[in-house]
Amino acid sequence: MQIFRDVRSLRAGIAALRADGGRIAMVPTMGALHAGHMALVARARALAEHVVVSIFVNPTQFGPREDLAAYPRREAQDAQMLEAGRVAALWAPSVEVMYPQGFSSSIHVAGVSEGLDGDWRPGHFDGVATVVAKLFGQVRPDIACFGEKDFQQLAVIRQMVRDLDLDVEIVGVETQRDDDGLALSSRNAYLSDNARAIAAALPETLVMAGEAIMAGNPVADIIAEATEHLIECGFDSVDYLALCDVGTLAPLASLDRPARLLVAARLGSTRLIDNIAVNP
C-alpha cells in the first residue's frame, strides 16, 4: 500500500492505478478505523479493482464545542488495518494541504442538510460537502462508499453529486453493529463501561419504535414514548427522534412512503446517532 501526503504525488499514484486498468473506489474516513470502516473497504474492493482510503480529520465539520482536539488519531494502526484489507493507496493529507493559506470556498447543500443534525450542528454539513468535493477532485474515484449510519451525511453527498454533475457513483453500505446492536462508531471509545451498557438501548428503542409505527400506531405518540423511554434508560437527553422521507429527509407525520427513523441522543459528553429503515 502506498501512502500519499501531497496532491502531486497522489495524482501520480492515481494515474499509475488507472494505467494498470480497472475502476477506483474510494472510502473517505477520519481515521480511528474499526470494523465498520473495514466493511466499507470490503464493499469498495468488491466493486472496483483498486481501493483508495483517505484519512483526514476535517476541522471544518467540527463545531466550536465539539471534539476536534480529542478526536482519536492513530494513523500507524489504521495503516496496518488498511494494508491487511488490501487497500492500494492511503491518502493522508495535513490540514495545510487540504486548506492552504487563502482557502475561502465552501459548498452548501440546501434541503437535506437542514433539520436533524443540520439544526444541532450548524455548518457541519457545509464542512462535509466541501471536504468530500475536494477529496473527489483529488482522487477522482469511479465509486465512493459511505456508511448508512450517517444517513443525513449520505443524503447530502448524494445531493451534491447530483447537483454538481460529479462523475462518481455513491454507494451506501449498511450500518455495522456490535453484538448488542449498537452502531459501530469511533466515538464509542469515549463511553464508560456504564454508559456503554446504557447505549445498547438506542438501537433497541429504534427497532421497537419502528415496529410500532409500521403496525399503524400514530407516529407522534410513538416518537414521544420512545424519547421518554431513552431518558428512562439513562440517556441524558435526546436531540431528535424523527421519521423522515428516505430521499428528502422531510419529516413525516404518517408512514405513507419509504422512510427512515433517525435519532441522536447524548450520554454524558458523547453524542450517539443511529437510524433504521421504516417502510409502509
- pTM for this predicted structure: 0.96
Q: How far is 200 from 204, CA to CA, in rounded Å?
A: 7
98 is in an annotated binding site: no
Q: Is the pLDDT of residue 69 over 90?
A: no
Q: Is the pLDDT of residue 72 over 90?
A: no
pLDDT value, residue 86: 97
Do 262 and 136 share a domain, yes or no? no
Look at residues 173, 201, 231 and tell me which one is the last residue of a structural domain. Answer: 173
Do 87 and 190 share a domain, yes or no? no
3-state helix, strand, coil in the chain (%, to 5): 40, 20, 35
Adjacency order of strands within the sheet including 259-267: 237-245, 259-267, 270-278
186 is in an annotated binding site: yes
134 is in an annotated binding site: no
pLDDT digits (tens, 9 = 90+) for 127-136: 999 999 999 9
- Annotated catalytic residue within 37, 108, 124, 229: 37
pLDDT digits (tens, 9 = 90+) for 263-279: 999 999 999 999 999 99
pLDDT value, residue 64: 82
Is residue 37 annotated as a catalytic residue, yes or no? yes
In a domain? residue 279: no
Confidence category of residue 110, pLDDT binned at 50, 70, 90: very high
pLDDT value, residue 179: 96
111 is in an annotated binding site: no
Q: How far is 241 from 219, CA to CA, in rounded Å?
A: 11
Look at residues 146, 173, 200 and tell me which one is the last residue of a structural domain. Answer: 173
Do 216 and 169 share a domain, yes or no? no
Q: CB count, 10 Å around CB of 134?
A: 20
Mean pLDDT of the 27-51 span: 97
In a domain? residue 180: no
Q: How far is 218 from 271, CA to CA, in rounded Å?
A: 27
pLDDT digits (tens, 9 = 90+) for 6-20: 999 999 999 999 999
pLDDT digits (tens, 9 = 90+) for 150-190: 999 999 999 999 999 999 999 999 999 999 999 999 889 88
Host domain of residue 239:
186-273
Q: For the domain that residue 95 is a member of, what is the CATH number?
A: 3.40.50.620
Q: How far is 253 from 162, CA to CA, in rounded Å?
A: 28
Question: For residue 55, which of 84, 16, 19, 97 has the smallest C-alpha distance?
Answer: 97
124 is in an annotated binding site: no
3-state secondary structure of 67: coil
pLDDT digits (tens, 9 = 90+) for 209-266: 999 999 999 999 999 999 999 999 999 999 999 999 999 999 999 999 999 999 999 9
